[in-house]
């Protein structure tokens, strides 16, 4: 365990962010390399993976429910130096994650065919999406256990194991992808399904490796079968914090479903262009996502230790770091979006859609960075409902007008991107206002600080 309640807040943020960033840089590399290889299979393959990727937001939603609640409660216990409580939460999180992963696997596999048919622009894309999901769904199911273990470690301030395991699994994925996709050295080319196979194998190795960090006398958190009996009270505590945070990702899945449905009449090229642009944007956001993962335990331990000035200092430092990083990415996406899209597709129609998406969306990158930071602060203080409310407001302001506008003569895809810019700016403003209120209400234990 690392005590984050003493020492420089900025130093803690930079150190913990660096661990997360290393793993996320490799994750970004994997996403881009995977997209590059799939892009060699054609536009239909890119569209199939992009459509299938929408399910990842559902996985993120479900795992966030576990991860956020686990990190918050473990960090509060660690801040109070209560190891018994931290270990009990960790073990209950593992039980809940395994049960959730099994339910996701069974339900999603049974509905994958219907989902692919509903979202695809043509039969070719549907067939490839079904092939991809046959292996990607089991890979997603394994994420539940992996996320729960990593979240518990972050709550104790230990980011290094997650960095090591994530980096190693990504390297495995990168090496396996072209072998399985094109049959390099084996003569057995699995096509788009090979990309999903590589992910499944890499995540399986990651889960087994991560489990080793909870064994041995030096482990702060350990597997304790004696406390694996489901504790409904603990689950409720975790989900009370995690459910709103997970619902935010669920809302993002709904948003993506709306976008793919609205642009479906424009063909697979439009879906592929949006999919590539979205992947690039997600990759560029990874540094601020890493920062968000660092903010929650740093602020959470100090909240548990009743040190309000350090909680506020965490937000100020994180907001400055996020703004600086997002300004740089926004400039790149605004100046050279076509060049970024062109790395993954040479189809002019795909490049045109992706270029416009990145160029317009770049105006809300700074606001998005601040949204990540404020959401992490809500998590640290154990109240994620405000973030859910503002996210719902943003999605509503995009989804409803998008459906209405898509029925108008002369509808253009870029109208959706402009709607999103306005909605993100509004969400950022609401988050900052509500966070100020939360500070006033929840950090009233200043006299306890020495």
In a domain, 375, yes or no: yes
Question: For residue 446, what pLDDT is reported?
Answer: 46
In a domain, 4, yes or no: no
In a domain, 2, yes or no: no
In a domain, 3, yes or no: no
pLDDT tens track, the chain, 450 positions = 677 888 888 888 888 888 777 766 776 666 667 777 887 888 788 878 877 766 777 787 788 788 888 988 999 898 888 999 999 999 999 999 999 999 999 998 898 888 888 877 778 888 888 888 989 899 989 989 998 999 899 889 888 888 888 888 888 888 898 899 898 888 888 888 898 899 899 999 999 999 999 988 888 999 988 888 988 889 988 888 888 877 776 677 777 777 877 887 888 788 788 888 887 887 788 888 888 888 888 898 889 888 899 999 999 999 999 999 899 999 998 888 888 888 878 888 888 888 888 999 899 999 999 998 998 899 888 888 888 889 888 888 888 888 888 888 888 888 888 988 999 999 999 999 999 999 998 887 644 444
Question: For residue 379, what pLDDT is reported?
Answer: 86
Cα gap 151→148, rounded to integer Å = 5
Question: For residue 169, what pLDDT is reported?
Answer: 87
In a domain, 1, yes or no: no
In a domain, 449, yes or no: no
In a domain, 27, yes or no: yes
Encode pLDDT of 121-171 as tens digits.
Answer: 778 888 888 888 989 899 989 989 998 999 899 889 888 888 888 888 888
Question: For residue 449, what pLDDT is reported?
Answer: 44
Q: Which residues contact 60 (CB under 8 A, 6 or more apart)?
A: 246, 249, 252
User: How many independent structural domains does the chain possess?
Assistant: 1
Question: For residue 54, what pLDDT is reported?
Answer: 67
Token match 């009370």: residue? 240
Domain that holds residue 424: 9-444
In a domain, 132, yes or no: yes
Question: For residue 30, what pLDDT is reported?
Answer: 67
């Amino acid at each position: 365990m690392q005590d984050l309640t003493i020492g420089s807040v900025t130093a803690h943020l930079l150190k913990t962010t660096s661990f997360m960033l290393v793993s996320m840089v490799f994750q970004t590399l994997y996403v881009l390399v995977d997209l590059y290889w799939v892009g060699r299979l054609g536009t239909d393959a890119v569209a199939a993976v992009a459509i299938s990727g929408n399910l990842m937001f559902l996985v993120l939603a479900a795992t966030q429910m576990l991860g956020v609640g686990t990190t918050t409660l473990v960090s509060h216990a660690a801040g109070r130096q209560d190891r018994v409580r931290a270990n009990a939460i960790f073990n209950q999180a593992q039980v809940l994650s395994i049960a959730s992963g099994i339910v996701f696997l069974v339900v999603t596999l049974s509905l994958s065919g219907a989902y692919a048919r509903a979202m695809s622009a043509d039969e070719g894309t549907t067939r490839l999406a079904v092939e991809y999901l046959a292996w990607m769904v089991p890979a997603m199911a394994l994420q539940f256990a992996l996320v729960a273990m990593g979240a518990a470690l972050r709550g104790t301030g230990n980011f290094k194991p997650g960095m090591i395991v994530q980096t190693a699994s990504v390297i495995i994925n990168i090496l396996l992808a072209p072998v399985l996709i094109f049959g390099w050295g084996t003569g057995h080319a699995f096509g788009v399904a090979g990309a999903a196979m590589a992910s499944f194998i890499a995540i399986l190795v990651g889960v087994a490796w991560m489990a080793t960090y909870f064994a041995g006398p030096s482990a702060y958190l350990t597997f304790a079968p004696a406390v694996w009996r489901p504790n409904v009270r603990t689950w409720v505590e975790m989900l009370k914090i995690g459910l709103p945070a997970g619902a935010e990702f669920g809302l993002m899945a709904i948003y993506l479903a709306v976008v793919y449905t609205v642009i479906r009449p424009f063909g697979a090229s439009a879906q592929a262009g949006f999919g590539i642009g979205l992947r690039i944007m997600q990759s560029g956001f990874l540094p601020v996502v890493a920062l968000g993962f660092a903010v929650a335990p740093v602020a959470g331990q100090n909240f548990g230790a009743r040190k309000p000035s350090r909680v506020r200092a965490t937000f100020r430092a994180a907001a400055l770091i996020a703004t600086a990083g997002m300004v740089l990415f926004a400039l790149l996406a605004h100046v050279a979006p076509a060049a970024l899209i062109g790395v993954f597709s040479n189809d002019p129609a795909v490049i045109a859609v992706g270029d416009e998406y990145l160029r317009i969306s770049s105006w809300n990158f700074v606001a998005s960075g601040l949204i990540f930071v404020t959401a992490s602060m809500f998590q640290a203080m154990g109240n994620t409902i405000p973030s859910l409310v503002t996210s719902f407001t943003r999605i509503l302001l995009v989804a409803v007008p998008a459906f209405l506008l898509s029925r108008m003569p002369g509808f253009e895809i870029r109208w959706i991107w402009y709607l999103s810019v306005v909605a993100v700016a509004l969400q950022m403003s609401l988050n900052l206002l509500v966070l100020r209120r939360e500070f006033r209400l929840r950090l009233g234990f200043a006299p306890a600080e020495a």
